[in-house]
Amino acid sequence: MKPVTSRRAVQRAFGSVLLLLSAALPAGGELAAPRSQEAPVGRAEAVVDLATTAGVALLHGQWRYSDVRIDEVDGRAPGDDLKPSGTPLRTYDFEPKAGAADFDDSAWRVVAPESLRARRGGGRLCFNWYRIRVTIPERVGTFDTRGATVALEVVVDDYAEIWVDGRLPLVLGQLGGAVVRGFNAPNRVVLTRDAQPGQQFQIAIFGMNGPVSASPENFIWIKSATLDFHRRVQRDVQPLRVVRADPAIDAIVPSEPQVELLAGGFLFTEGPVWVRDPGYLLFSDPNSNVIYRWSPHDELAIYRTKSGYSGFDVGEYGQPGSNGLTLDREGRLTINQHGNRRVIRLESNGEETVLAEAFGGRRLNSPNDLVYRSDGALYFTDPPFGLPRAFDDPRRELPFSGIYRVRDGEVRLLSRELSGPNGLAFSPDEAFLYVGNWDETRKVVLRYPVLADGGLGPSEVFFDMTAAAGEDALDGLKVDQQGNVYVSGPGGLWILSAAGRHLGTLFPPEHPHNFAWGDDDGRTLYLTARTGLYRVRLKVPGVRP
């Protein structure tokens, strides 16, 4: 993370992001995708109306319907763990639970497409289900569907949640899509971005009467339901410049690699992590105090606001927000917060658990990057770059920049020898911990042997980039499954062998400050590069949480 110290520059930056957000916000208030984002944009090339017999017949579908019954059931009050582990009580649930792809709805009532506008449910507090299986046709009119992006858009009076193939994607902070979007607002879910004729999707729509708190006398009905077909979006893809310093780089980087811009217009992107299920990327913009979520199946969205700080003096900070992000063994997001000067973990219910905020009775500087070891211990770096005046900030309480470990609630200092410890990663066998140094007078990667108790032995200089051209020092650092080390260094992304040999350097359109492996096979490297989010396909999968 490059420190930002100019208050005027910060104010200009915050003004820019406010203009960016206000320009991107539609009437419903959700952040729209930048133009480079591959969500369906503009007019659909073809539309199938699921409220017509002809439209449903084209998709070989059939609507089925069921009311929902609310029952009193056994439950438990919140326990000390804030989960339902306390004293027994009576609560409420509903039947049937018809979101599963293999749910048997054969006994349900078949409803004609033209009758979707009929009022259903009992009024007041009521819920219902609509289910349909659709098959992608070869053509919709003259439009060839092969390779198209297909989006389901449903407007339910009053609210809806949409299950596709037995899944209801839930992401903390998401606005609409598969979950409730708003009063009589359209729910829009991308079914596929590469449609193939004959491809099938099981759709289940859970309808809700509302506003729930008003207990209205009206009923539930579907105002509209369509499948919108969009042409394959022309992505912003260009050749990736590579300096090949060693022939071994050919086993890692394709002969003609390409870099793809996924989203742009940010202030400064950092700290990415790929969440495997259901498959999306989280990344920080510490300057704008936001965590974003990018998914190949949904539009870009704000995942968390005030991601690192909400203090009254936030305007003094260049980078008040979150920086490094990672996942623990249970898939819980762990966040380094600059302004709050602490490391937190988000529990499955959205509650925060503070993992580290002080050492020796003194507040941390501004935790930067972090990585978990397989035993569950968390390692993180703590330079002062998130403080408004960095090393000279009067708020600073620790006179050094540390490398720490958190285990069983104990924060232990492992090393204080680097002035700006930044990115860090374990070797695949966890025998070594690599740490990069953001210091323009000493651009080195140190390698520490990991001791049996999880501590660190004496360091050695694994690679020295001090003499390399380029203004930037060392930022993000990751390792692939073959032990190669990837470092955000002067000019670009340096790739080093496990033996400390420079194999090559990647030069995307913007300097990549951090990166993370994603997609199903772990061979896609997502780059957070200043104002843009990029990705490139490599030959070797990476080590990821």
Report pLDDT digits (tens) over 325-339. Answer: 999 999 999 999 999
Please give the Cα distance from 289 to 222 (Å, whole number).
38
**pTM for this structure?**
0.79
pLDDT tens digits for range 183-221: 888 888 889 988 999 999 999 999 999 998 998 989 999
How high is the pLDDT of residue 175?
Answer: 67
Please give the Cα distance from 531 to 70 (Å, whole number).
49
Could you tell me the two tokens for 124? 């007041």
Please give the Cα distance from 131 to 30 (Å, whole number).
27
**Could you tell me the pLDDT band of residue 407, with boundaries at 50, 70 and 90?**
very high
Give all domains of the chain, ordered by start, each with its CATH number: 7-26+268-502 (2.120.10.30), 46-230 (2.60.120.260)
How high is the pLDDT of residue 37?
Answer: 36
Share of the chain above pLDDT 90, in %: 79
Could you tell me the two tokens for 385? 């770059």
pLDDT tens digits for range 309-320: 989 899 999 999
By C-alpha distance, which of 486, 438, 492 is closest to 466? 438
Say which amino acid occupies 5: T
Please give the Cα distance from 363 to 395 (Å, whole number).
9
Give 460-516 as a 3 state SS string.
Answer: EEEEECCCCCCCCCCCCEEEECCCCEEEEECCEEEEECCCCCEEEEEECCCCCCEEE
What mean pLDDT comes out for the span 370-377? 98
**Could you tell me the pLDDT band of residue 440, with boundaries at 50, 70 and 90?**
very high
Residue 299 has pLDDT above 70, yes or no: no
What mean pLDDT comes out for the span 508-513? 96
Residue 21 has pLDDT above 80, yes or no: no
Which residue is associated with the tokens 């966040």? 335
Please give the Cα distance from 64 to 132 (Å, whole number).
7
pLDDT tens digits for range 92-145: 999 999 999 999 999 999 999 999 999 999 999 999 999 999 999 999 999 999
pLDDT tens digits for range 446-473: 999 999 999 999 999 999 999 998 778 9
pLDDT tens digits for range 242-287: 999 999 999 999 999 999 999 999 999 999 999 998 899 999 999 9
Bridge partners of 406?
378, 411
How high is the pLDDT of residue 300?
Answer: 82
By C-alpha distance, which of 436, 486, 433, 438 is closest to 458? 433
By C-alpha distance, which of 227, 230, 231 is closest to 49? 227
How high is the pLDDT of residue 92?
Answer: 95
CB 76 within 8 A of CB 86: yes
Lowest mean pLDDT among 23-27, 266-270, 293-297, 537-541: 23-27
How high is the pLDDT of residue 233?
Answer: 65
How high is the pLDDT of residue 26?
Answer: 32
How high is the pLDDT of residue 188?
Answer: 87
What mean pLDDT comes out for the span 46-59? 96
41's torsion region: left (phi>0), alpha (psi -120 to 50) or beta?
beta
Lowest mean pLDDT among 18-27, 117-126, 485-494: 18-27
